[in-house]
Structure 1
Amino acid sequence: MVSGIAILGAGLFATQAYIPALKALGDSAPPLKAVYSRSEKSSSELSHSASELLKLESPPEIYFDADSSRNLDALLKRSDIEAVIIVLPITVQPEIVLKALAAGKHVLSEKPIAPDVAKGISLIKEAAKYTQKGLVWRVAENYEVETAYMKAGELVKSGAIGKVAFFKAIVYNYIDKSSQWYKTPWRTVPDYQGGFLLDGGVHTVAVLRTILSDLTLTHVSGFASLTKDYLAPHDAIHTIVRAGPDVHGLVEMTFASPVPTKPPADNILITGTDGWLSVNHANDAEGGIKILIKKLVKKGSEEDKVEETEESFRFPIIGVQEEFRAFFAKIDGVEGFEAGDPKDALLDVAFIQAALTSEGKLVDLGQLMREG
């Protein structure tokens, strides 16, 4: 087992998702020995939260920029910390990923992989100097390991709805100035393309990758716009997508819904030759993510008689703990459950970048990922 880990970054997601995920993993999670943030206050708050929730005998040691004996460099020199989990602003992360790898640490870095494709390509190239020597670097994309989306992928791959014909993904989110996510300073004035569309939109691309696992998203044509000035530079994209020679779909995303209530539309809808499969977050007390399959099956021996059948599933939302589990297993050399490949994460960014810059022209995602 990994000897010890540190969390680099002390924002909302570290507190609300990372610490609970470590708790859910229980004894299978390595000990959290340190936390880092730019400020002493936020580092201390995360350490306190971790200590309380994880019921630690002593809180994780805090590191912050103002004290050279307690800064990030000092943390990375610790031999008892074998791996770091990075959840820092998008434009800051690539540099910290390389810094941690250079210090001999395994790295799990929060999505997106980089602010744009060119920086993502450069990061993968530089990181290879360390990963080729045995260090593990993975990108934390919790949606690709959500059990609901993985189950949906298995169903589609097994032919549960026949051969995939076309698909649709719709993201309809309401972000106002009181949102805890908007109040995050680096999101309020983003210095990266797309704003929330990049930060949150890569999740949807990852979901499509997972569900359409036998297909590859190859081309995108679309338009981007801004409806709410405070969500600059863009808050909506509408795209047509090709996934192989004879499969296509629509992907629509907005973070500028005029009202909090979502319209009655499926989040993910995959249509096949024999039926369709939808995947949606459950808006009820039980929560989780629901899968619904509708298809026609033959009724009796008469060839022209068919009936519509329904099958449904519900899964809890556990993606963060699953991405952690996969990361720790990779370090330990456990085979089987692979997640967080940086090249997959690069495709997610390429999709969003293509949608933001297309202006109706067809963008070859493979070419974009090769050339930046």
Structure 2
Amino acid sequence: MSGISGVAILGAGIFAKEAHLPALAALGASAPPLKAVYSRSEKSAKDLAQTAATILKLSSPPSVYFDNDSSSNLDVLLARSDISSVIVILPITTQPAIVLKALAAGKHVISEKPVAADVQSGLKLIADYNSNFKSKNLIWRVAENFEAEPGYQAAAAAIRAGKIGQVHSFKAEKIDYIDTETKWYKTPWRTIPDYQGGFLLDGGVHTIAALRVMLPHPLTHVSGFASLNKAYLAPHDIIHAIVQAGPGVSGVADLIFASPTKSRPAGSEFAILGTNGWLSVNHVSKPGVSGSVIRVIIHSIVKSKDDTEVEEKEEIIDEPGIGVQAELASFFAAISGKDDGKGLGDPLAALGDVAFIQAALNSGGNLVDLTQLLRGD
């Protein structure tokens, strides 16, 4: 990438290997070269470096950094002048300190969602960035790939174009099956989470981010109940919530990581209704297409000039699931001085997703004002 020095990946987990490396490969020359990788352990850092060399077709692996070696630790990596940005993919409670450390070293940062483990720590992190680093033209973004997905962006564009009229109702439904053998559960920091909500926080923010992107108004209030169905998913694995999103707009959000079977009930992941139609959004498989596809189905009411005849017009939009690639492309454009204006990765918006989960976990059926919660009141 012209004018931009290298990038480093901090964190060597599953998502770094299976999402971020393929995204960098897809971006090709439009992404800065991967110069270094870091993990707490030497073994995992070396493993990531070798995987990177294969996926990115590098002539040699990126440099390896790890803890317990003062000559090859994170401080040494961050001191490199040929690295201008870092991708932080570390456990939820570890990330904030590393984000600040990288910013203090003069690096641009994109850190994986959620922005923080809770609203209070997120507000502190954002305040620190705004006070100490934003004025230095250092960019920090939160990598929320659902926010960046072309499918959800297409649904948002359709709504803002008036294709379903004025939005009044919505439904969001996430049903997932997590057993003790899945690769995601076997990650140690997820097995015994030191943060609220467990998978509901780690995975649930995706669903809320997609809602945030598509709805014409921010989520403002929530009343919900949280429960635990499977002991190994403690502290909670289910949220049922009623949600308000601006005047006259309300809906429901069900986040369930306790499905009893791998099969799931049929239904839409998202459904949004307006005065002139509706749309649904689902992940689907499409013959001949590798990876998931996000399908948006739009049904609009078409009336005759005298309103005597009414028919439904259907439009189907299929977009590839390339959220990680899209968020990284936007980040790299921003640090090269070519911000795409999409507003992706805003830390306060990402904290709104955390606020929703926190409110629903603690609501107990009482109404929680999300705006007030985000003010730290």
With the length of structure 2 as denominator, give the TM-score of the two structures. 0.96
Are residues 1:164 and 2:167 paired?
A: yes
Report the residue type matching 1:211 in the other structure: M
1:5-16 equivalences under 5 Å are 5-16=7-18
Distance in 1, Cα, partners of 2:14 & 2:75: 23
The 3-state SS of whatever aligns with 1:68 is coil
Find the partner of 1:135 among 135, 138, 148: 138
Distance in 1, Cα, partners of 2:44 & 2:160: 45
Q: Is the 8 A contact 1:108 1:140 kept in 2?
A: yes
Find the partner of 1:350 among 350, 355, 363: 355
Find the partner of 1:210 among 209, 213, 217: 213
The 3-state SS of whatever aligns with 1:74 is helix
Find the partner of 1:123 among 117, 122, 125: 125
The corresponding residue for 1:340 is: 345
1:79-228 equivalences under 5 Å are 79-128=81-130, 129-212=132-215, 214-228=216-230
My pick for the range that moved more, 279-288 or 30-39, is: 279-288
Question: Superposition RMSD on alpha carbons, in Å?
Answer: 1.0
With the length of structure 1 as denominator, give the TM-score of the two structures. 0.98
Are residues 1:328 and 2:328 paired?
A: no
Shift of the alpha carbon at 1:284?
A: 4.5
The corresponding residue for 1:30 is: 32
My pick for the range that moved more, 285-294 or 168-177, is: 285-294
Q: Is the 8 A contact 1:239 1:252 kept in 2?
A: yes
Distance in 2, Cα, partners of 1:192 & 1:157: 36
Shift of the alpha carbon at 1:174?
A: 0.3
Shift of the alpha carbon at 1:125?
A: 0.7
Q: Is the 8 A contact 1:141 1:340 kept in 2?
A: yes
The 3-state SS of whatever aligns with 2:206 is helix
Q: Is the 8 A contact 1:330 1:338 kept in 2?
A: no
Distance in 1, Cα, partners of 2:274 & 2:218: 16
Shift of the alpha carbon at 1:303?
A: 2.1
Report the residue type matching 2:348 in the other structure: K
Distance in 2, Cα, partners of 1:161 & 1:360: 31
Q: Is the 8 A contact 1:275 1:295 kept in 2?
A: yes
The corresponding residue for 1:367 is: 372
Distance in 2, Cα, partners of 1:77 & 1:283: 44
The corresponding residue for 1:268 is: 270
Distance in 1, Cα, partners of 2:364 & 2:81: 50
The corresponding residue for 1:76 is: 78
Shift of the alpha carbon at 1:147?
A: 0.3
Shift of the alpha carbon at 1:172?
A: 0.4
* % identical aligned pairs: 59
Report the residue type matching 1:158 in the other structure: A
Distance in 2, Cα, partners of 1:283 & 1:174: 18
Shift of the alpha carbon at 1:259?
A: 0.6
The 3-state SS of whatever aligns with 1:69 is coil
Shift of the alpha carbon at 1:295?
A: 2.5
The corresponding residue for 1:311 is: 315
Distance in 2, Cα, partners of 1:283 & 1:195: 28
Report the residue type matching 1:16 in the other structure: E
Shift of the alpha carbon at 1:2?
A: 2.0
The 3-state SS of whatever aligns with 1:168 is strand
Report the residue type matching 1:354 in the other structure: A
Q: Is the 8 A contact 1:241 1:251 kept in 2?
A: yes
The corresponding residue for 2:296 is: 291
Instruction: From the superposition, tell whether residues 337 and 242 of structure 1 become closer, same or farther in structure 2 (CA, over 3 Å).
Output: closer
Shift of the alpha carbon at 1:302?
A: 4.5
| Unaligned 5+ runs, structure 2 | none
Q: Is the 8 A contact 1:8 1:37 kept in 2?
A: yes
Instruction: From the superposition, tell whether residues 283 and 244 of structure 1 become closer, same or farther in structure 2 (CA, over 3 Å).
Output: same
The 3-state SS of whatever aligns with 1:70 is coil
Shift of the alpha carbon at 1:38?
A: 0.5
Shift of the alpha carbon at 1:191?
A: 0.4
Structure 1 residue runs of 4 or more that deviate by more than 4 Å after TM superposition:
none
Distance in 2, Cα, partners of 1:51 & 1:138: 26
Distance in 2, Cα, partners of 1:368 & 1:158: 31
Shift of the alpha carbon at 1:240?
A: 0.5
| Unaligned 5+ runs, structure 1 | none
Aligned residues: 370
